[in-house]
Amino acid sequence: MADITCKIAGVTSPNPFWLASAPPTDKEYNVVRAVEAGWGGVVWKTLGEEGPPVVNVSSRYGAINYGGNKMAGLNNIELITDRPLDVNLKEIERVKKNWPDRALIVSLMVPCEEQSWQKILKRVETTGCDGVELNFGCPHGMSERGMGSAVGQVPEYIKQVTEWCKKYTKMPVFVKLTPNITNILHPARAAVSGGADAVSLINTINSITSVNLDLMAPEPVVNGIGAHGGYCGPAVKPIALCMVGEIARDPDCKKIPISGIGGISTWRDAAEFISLGAGSVQVCTAAMHYGFKIIDDLTDGLSNWMDEKGYQTLDDFRGKAVPNYKNWQDLDMNYDIKAVIDQDKCIQCGLCHIVCEDTSHQAVKAERLGDTRRYTVIDEECVGCNLCMLACPVDTCITMKRVDNGKPYLTWPNDPRNAANMKKA
């Protein structure tokens, strides 16, 4: 059986699945339920500085349902913890003492002043936790007070705060990045140059999930009004994967350990993040949708898949997809594939035809032989776009077969059809 023990930035956990800093990790009760269920670690919900209380509003979540599936995407307008700092610290200390093998990271968000960070780090260090995560990500609420993504959107601030933290604590420092920027590499490089031990990404994406058409207000509606919130859940996974991949392949990020976050719901999602360079993975929406019990399939599924592939540890496949993540101009212009429809598996729904006919290349022919409908690919028209395969409701009914054209790997910069090359010629 594969060993799924996870090591990242000096923090170890029995498995790579951590609960992200969010409502599920707001207090001891929830966290204990999670570790009892088998979660490898938790990032405690963000603590703020001691003093005036944080107060949350009623109605905090909005969701995207799609095709009968609930919570394909979720957003929230909840602030950082609204419980007193000392209560949280006592609970953190107790949990770490009782569950020493689990990773316990504490998320922090205080004003952008050296003293504030110095003060809170001192308090947190006493809990015996494994590390801190700097919340530079939340796009809602706290950002209006100059914290969260307001910091994460300014690389100079990231670097500065990271440096302070490294100065005042020996604990590993994870910097949590906001995706609400144009290029993730700028904040990531800032964290690296500030001395961060790891980056965590992505935090939530600024969003309005829906408009309540009766109230004419964005969801979640708070007494007739809505505010933008942080978007997460399965729908954001592709965005998160891309940003993780960007950092993993960037030489300037110097292979900084990554705690991957963003729509991770299954072991397969986790395997994808790890293969794109993530060390641990953090989960929130999936647990908020189904409860902590999903950990069973997360760990079991990952381990079984690793056995099947012959990976003995997470390091065996960590980052294995990174070398294959390139830019468009590195792709092979001579690669040629055509859709093939397995007539034995075809249920005659005709979606392959209509999507190609209406929206693509008119490459799937529809024929009728009495009551039988027959859909076949016109190879000369097929550009190998995958659309029919993606629309087909039957797994493996449509596959893409490579055409052996004998041509060499040819990138666009070298392609004779490229205008730049024409000029040369």
Partner 1 sequence: MSKAAEAENPVDIAAGRLSAAQYAENFSDVAPPLDRNSAVTEANRCLFCFDAPCIEACLTSIDIPVFIKKISTDNVKGAATTILSANIMGGSCSRVCPVEELCEEACVRNTQSGQPIKIGQLQRYATDHLYSRKDAQVFTRKPATGKKIAIVGAGPAGLSCAHGLAREGHNVTIFEARPKAGGLNEYGIAAYKVAGNFAQRETDFILAIGGIEIKNGQALGQQITLSQLRKDYDAVFLGMGMKGVNALGLEAENLQGVENAVDYIEKLRQAKDLGKLPVGRHVVVIGGGNTAIDIAIQTKRLGAEYVTLVYRRGAGEMSATHHEQEFAQTNGVTIKHWAQPKKLIGFQGHVTGVEFEYTQLDANGKLMGTGDTFSIPADMVFKAIGQTFVATPLKEQGRDLLQLTKKGRIAVNEDGQTSLPGVWAGGDCTEGQDLTVAAVEDGKIAAIAINRALKEKK
Instruction: List residues near partner 1 by CB under 8 A.
Output: 67-68, 347-351, 353-354, 366, 368, 371, 373, 393-394
Helix (H, G, I), strand (E, B) or coil at 112: coil
Residue pair 383/336 in contact (Cβ under 8 Å)? The answer is no
Distances (CA, A) of 386 to 17, 313, 334, 366, 389: 32, 33, 16, 18, 5
Residue 286 vs 356, nearer CB to partner 1: 356
Q: Is the dihedral of CA 26, 31, 34, 38 positive or negative?
A: positive
Q: How far is residue 376's CA from residue 384's CA, in Å, rounded to a whole number?
A: 14
Query: To the nearest whole angstrom, how small is the minimum distance from the Cβ of residue 250 to partner 1?
Result: 41
Residue 189 vs 353, nearer CB to partner 1: 353
Query: To the nearest whole angstrom, how small is the minimum distance from the Cβ of residue 347 to partner 1?
Result: 4
Buried b (16+ CB within 10 A) or exposed e, 100-119: eebbbbbbbbbebeeebbee
Residue pair 15/9 in contact (Cβ under 8 Å)? The answer is no
Helix axes 155-168 and 114-125, enclosed angle (nearest 10): 40
Residue 43 vs 351, nearer CB to partner 1: 351
Q: What's 383's DSSP letter?
A: -
Residue 53 vs 68, nearer CB to partner 1: 68
Query: To the nearest whole angstrom, how small is the minimum distance from the Cβ of residue 319 to partner 1?
Result: 38
Query: To the nearest whole angstrom, how small is the minimum distance from the Cβ of residue 287 to partner 1?
Result: 24
Query: To the nearest whole angstrom, how small is the minimum distance from the Cβ of residue 352 to partner 1?
Result: 9
Residue pair 234/265 in contact (Cβ under 8 Å)? The answer is yes
Query: To the nearest whole angstrom, how small is the minimum distance from the Cβ of residue 343 to partner 1?
Result: 12
Residue 66 vs 290, nearer CB to partner 1: 66
Residue 236 vs 352, nearer CB to partner 1: 352
Q: How far is residue 77's CA from residue 347's CA, in Å, rounded to a whole number?
A: 44
Q: How far is residue 54's CA from residue 279's CA, in Å, rounded to a whole number?
A: 32
Closest alpha carbon to 234 in 65, 76, 73, 24: 73
Per the residue annotation, which of 6, 129, 138, 346 is the catalytic one? 138
Query: To the nearest whole angstrom, how small is the minimum distance from the Cβ of residue 69 to partner 1?
Result: 8
Distances (CA, A) of 246 to 15, 62, 153, 221: 24, 29, 17, 35
Q: Is the dihedral of CA 416, 417, 423, 425 positive or negative?
A: positive
Which region, left, alpha or beta, applies to residue 424 given φ > 0 means left and ψ of -120 to 50 means alpha? alpha
Helix (H, G, I), strand (E, B) or coil at 34: helix
Count the alpha carbons within 13 Å of 343 in the hemisphere toward its beta carbon: 8
Residue 346 bears catalytic tag = no
Query: To the nearest whole angstrom, how small is the minimum distance from the Cβ of residue 178 to partner 1?
Result: 34
Residue 308 vs 371, nearer CB to partner 1: 371
Residue 173 vs 352, nearer CB to partner 1: 352
- H or E stretch at 402: strand 398-402
Positions marked catalytic: 138
